Structures are given as C-alpha cells and as structure tokens.
Amino acid sequence: MRIGVYEHKARKGLIRVSLKIVEGVIEEATITGDFFIYPEDALFELESTLRGTKASWAEVSSKLDEFFSRGVELAGSTPEDFKTALKKALVEAGVHGEA
Amino acid sequence: MGRLRVLFYETPDNPFYSLAFEEAIFQSVMRGADTTLRFWRHSNAVIIGYFQKADEEVNIEYARKMNISIARRFTGGGAVYHDLGCLLWTVATRGPEKGSVSYLYDHLLEGFVNALRRLGFTAARENVNDVVVTIGDKSFKVSGAAGSFRGGAYLLHGTLLLNTNLEVLSRVLRVSKAKLADKKVSDVKYRVTNLANLNHSIGVPDVVKAVVESYSELLGLDPYYDLPSREEVDLARRLYEAKYSRAEWNLLRMPHSYFESASTT
C-alpha cells in the first residue's frame, strides 16, 4: 500500500491530491482545495473515475483528458494544473516512468 | 423596472443554518423568486469551501479552544474566518441559461467592487475572486467571493472585512507550504485588512446602502425590503436538518448526492 500526496498551486487555488494505491491500483483518490470547478459535482465524479484505475500516468492521464473533454468549466486553474497535481501525487506514491 | 429584493436575515450563532439558507435562496431564485440581495453575519466561525476538508484548512485545536464553529458551504473557493466585524453579502439572480463563470466573477462580482468605489475606495477584482482596495502603492484584500450557477440561476456570496479580529483569523486558518512558496501569484491575499483601518467612519449602514445602490444600478432593478418566504424558511430547515447540520457535510466533505434521499425539494 502506498500513499501519494501532492499540493499544486494553480493561479487561483491550491489543488491537493491524495492517492492510496494498493497492488498497483488507485484505491482512494481525493482532490481537495480552494479551486473552482463547474458543475461542482464533476469533481466528485473525477475522484470516482480515478478509483479503480491502474496507478500509471498513462491510464490516469487518459482519464483526465476524457474528463476535461466533457465541458467542465474552471475559474483560475487549467486542466494542466489538475494533471500536474495528479502526476506528482503518483510520483510521491512511488510510481515512476511513463512520464 | 424589475425588482431587487433585499433581505436582512441571519443566525450568527448558527452558521450551519445560515449556509442552508444560502442554498434555499439559490433554489428559490432558480424557481423564479426575484433577484435577491442578502446581508448576514456569523459570530465566530470558519467557513470552508465545497471542495475542502476541515482538517486540511483549519487549526482544529485552536478552533476548539476558541469555540469557533467549522461549517462548509456549497460553493467552491477557500476557507474564511467570520466574526461580527465581517459583513457577509449574497446576490442571487437569474442569468444566462448556459452557465457562465464569467457572469459570476466578471459581471456580478463587479457589483460589489462598485459598492466599494461608491464608498470612495480605489477598488478592483483580482485573480478571479479577490477584491482589493489600493491606498497609494499598497493593495489590501478586504473581500473574497465564491459562487455557483445552475438552471439559469446564479448565486455569488462574499465577505467584507470591516472590523474582524485578524489575529484570530490568521491563527485559525492553515496556510499550506505550497501557497507560501508560490512567488508567481500576487501575495495580496496575505495582506488582508479591515476597512475600518482605512476609513474609520465606515459602518454597516454605509456599506449596505452602497451595495444595494450598486446592484440596483448593475442589474437595473428597483430595491424593496422583504423577509424570507414561507417556502424559503421551510426549505432552509429541511436542508439544515438533512445536510448542513451534519458532520458528513461539514467535516467529511460528502457531495450533495450523498444527502439526496433526504429532501431538497
């Protein structure tokens, strides 16, 4: 079991990702902070999508791209900010390669 | 000319109910209630944003020692400390059907900035949702806002530091290392100040008058004074009992859907 936590500062808002990885799979993913995302509950859908995903940047990145292609709006942050936060949280959890 | 409903409705010692009432106004306007302006306060509370976890944003031990309530609102953004020296304001209105971040933070927030200008300040929006006043070459953050939109309705609520205990504010709120290390973004957020320090003669009546006039002008509406409707009071009570009074909402950061079996209609 590995834990990865990373705080990334977007222009407006801190994005804090906490990952719990068990046997190479993301068991828990929370994305907390003072950012703005619309509709708001899309954020919880994103967390849900990440749960059960293989803990690899390729998989996670693909899920994020799909998520942001669905028309969520951000204020003061970009999809890149969320990708950076997720990527670095994976690194913190010891997931390397496939950058 | 359409109408701007002005409410003074607060429960300073129950921030949980207060925030339930915010959602009640939002739903009320969604269903066709007049554009509404609300003025309210909290005695001693930290309000965290929808995406925040209390233990990440608040010094829990200090909050406990100082009897500071911790309550979560339904809009995003950051954690704020409120005491009676902080005036809270809310504007809820119908707007563009297709939701727009810009309508919230460029248009509606400008109404509040204009109110500060009416009071004689050089004021501006900065970095999405910060409101700063500039004196000489120094800028200070006096207000922050957060909002939501759904079903053609928009709600923007925010703070105004008039005479808040800034020491308690700085001690109860945790600031992450990532924020402190960030040099790219303006640090005005950390130069918060009370409006009373900048102009001793400004009080609640002056601010309220300026905000009412400002939104009246921005939205082209005629202000009138009112009390919450029976529907709003009933809805607020239900939202409070089902959601806003609960630890799952305030501390465990559960989404709206977790509470949906309870009534939101």
CB-based contact A33 B51, cutoff 8 Å: yes
Percent of residues, chain B, with pLDDT higher than 70: 94
**Residue B191: its pLDDT value, please?**
79
**Residue A96: its pLDDT value, please?**
77
Chain B residues contacting A, CB < 8 Å?
A: 49-53, 56-57, 74-79, 99, 101, 104-105, 127-129, 146, 148-150, 176-179, 181-182, 184-185, 253, 255-257
Provide the token pair at B50. Answer: 């929808």
Least Cα separation, residue B51 to chain A (angstroms): 5
**Residue B189: its pLDDT value, please?**
57
**Residue B187: its pLDDT value, please?**
58
Q: Which chain A residues are closer than 8 Å to B176 by Cβ?
A: 7, 14, 16
What gap in Å lies between CA B235 and CA A7, rounded to an integer?
37
What gap in Å lies between CA B155 and CA B19, rounded to an integer?
12
- Check pLDDT > 70 for residue B184: no
Give SS3 for A72.
Answer: coil
**Residue B61: its pLDDT value, please?**
97
The total domain count for chain A is 1
Phi, psi of B202 (to 5 degrees): -85, 130
Residue B97's pLDDT band (boundaries 50, 70, 90)?
A: confident
Phi, psi of B129 (to 5 degrees): -135, 15
User: Does any domain span residue A99?
Assistant: no
- From the candidates B128, B184, B251, which should be mutated to test the interface with A, based on the most A CB atoms within 10 A? B128
Q: Which chain A residues are closer than 8 Å to B52 by Cβ?
A: 32-34
pTM of the model: 0.95
Residue B148's pLDDT band (boundaries 50, 70, 90)?
A: very high
Provide the token pair at B27. Answer: 């739903």
CB-based contact B51 A40, cutoff 8 Å: yes
User: Does any domain span residue A98?
Assistant: no
Q: The CATH number of the domain where A12 resides is what?
A: 3.30.390.50
Give SS3 for B33.
Answer: coil
CB-based contact A75 B176, cutoff 8 Å: no
pLDDT by residue (tens digit) across A43-95? Answer: 999 999 999 999 999 999 999 999 999 999 999 999 999 999 999 999 999 99
- Quote the domain boundaries for residue B130: 2-262
What gap in Å lies between CA A34 and CA B161, rounded to an integer?
19
Please report the sign of the dihedral spanned by the C-alpha atoms of residue B30, residue B32, residue B38, residue B43.
Answer: negative
Q: How far is CA A54 from CA A27, A48, A61, B195, B243, in A?
A: 9, 13, 11, 51, 34
| Alpha-helical regions (H) of chain B | 15-30, 54-57, 60-65, 101-102, 109-118, 166-172, 177-181, 195-198, 204-219, 230-239, 247-250
Give SS3 for B9.
Answer: coil
User: Does any domain span residue A64?
Assistant: yes
The total domain count for chain B is 1
Size of interface A-B (CB pairs under 8 A): 82
CB-based contact A7 B177, cutoff 8 Å: yes
Q: The CATH number of the domain where B244 resides is what?
A: 3.30.930.10
CA neighbours within 13 Å on the CB side: how many for B82?
A: 32
User: Does any domain span residue A80?
Assistant: yes
Could you tell me which residue, B137 or B14, shows the higher pLDDT? B14
CB-based contact A36 B78, cutoff 8 Å: no
Strand runs (DSSP E) across chain A, as ranges? 2-9, 14-22, 25-33, 37-38, 73-74
- Check pLDDT > 70 for residue B2: yes
Residue A99's pLDDT band (boundaries 50, 70, 90)?
A: very low
- Quote the domain boundaries for residue A51: 2-92
Question: Assign residue A24 a region: left if phi > 0, alpha if psi is -120 to 50, beta otherwise?
Answer: left
- Check pLDDT > 90 for residue B176: no
